[in-house]
Amino acid sequence: MNPNASLINSLAFLLFLCIWPLTGSAHAFLERAQPGPGAELTNAPKEVVLTYDRGVEAVFSTVEIKNENGDPVKTDKARGNSDDPTKLLLKLPPLPPGTYRIFWSVMAYDGHRTEGDHTFTIRSDNPAR
């Protein structure tokens, strides 16, 4: 076998080994949210449910909600769903009418972190319960 061909084959194989692990890794992207982005609600939600396109590490993930003044709403830590690792759940206290922003930061099983935010509004024509 030609020594140059052997070197080229070896380098190609090493390149493949370096690139191959990257093909299986990806970030966890938000697929669905309840309440959803821009939602206008007549009743205050009892919880936030965030669903991602792959499993997330709940212990390394955060969900925070802030009111329209930017003040954090006091909640417990978001928890994972043992039946579905793609979901994060955040129980909410009774919320008065207003606009709220949900901030989330998650770590996927592969170690990649993603974050995002969106707002929803509780209309004042039906107060929170």
Domains and CATH numbers, the chain: 26-122 (2.60.40.1220)
Q: Which residues contact 20 (CB under 8 A, 6 or more apart)?
A: none
Query: Which pLDDT does position 3 carry in this prediction?
Result: 63
Q: Say how far apart CA 34 and CA 104 lie, in whole Å.
A: 13
Q: What is the mean pLDDT of residues 9-32?
A: 66
Q: What is the mean pLDDT of residues 6-19?
A: 62
Q: Which of 58, 110, 117 is nearest to 88 (CA)?
A: 58
Q: What is the mean pLDDT of residues 14-40?
A: 76
pLDDT digits (tens, 9 = 90+) for 64-104: 999 999 999 999 999 998 899 999 999 999 999 999 999 99
Query: Which pLDDT does position 126 carry in this prediction?
Result: 47
Written as six digits, the tokens of 26 are 């990806």
27 or 86: which leads in pLDDT: 86
pTM assigned to the model: 0.76
Query: Which pLDDT does position 13 carry in this prediction?
Result: 63
pLDDT averaged over the chain? 87
Instruction: Please give the helix or strand (H or E) that residue 99 lies within, else none.
Output: strand 98-107
Written as six digits, the tokens of 30 are 């938000």
Q: Which residues contact 109 (CB under 8 A, 6 or more apart)?
A: 28, 54, 55, 56, 57, 85
pLDDT band at 16 (very low <50, low <70, confident <90, very high): low
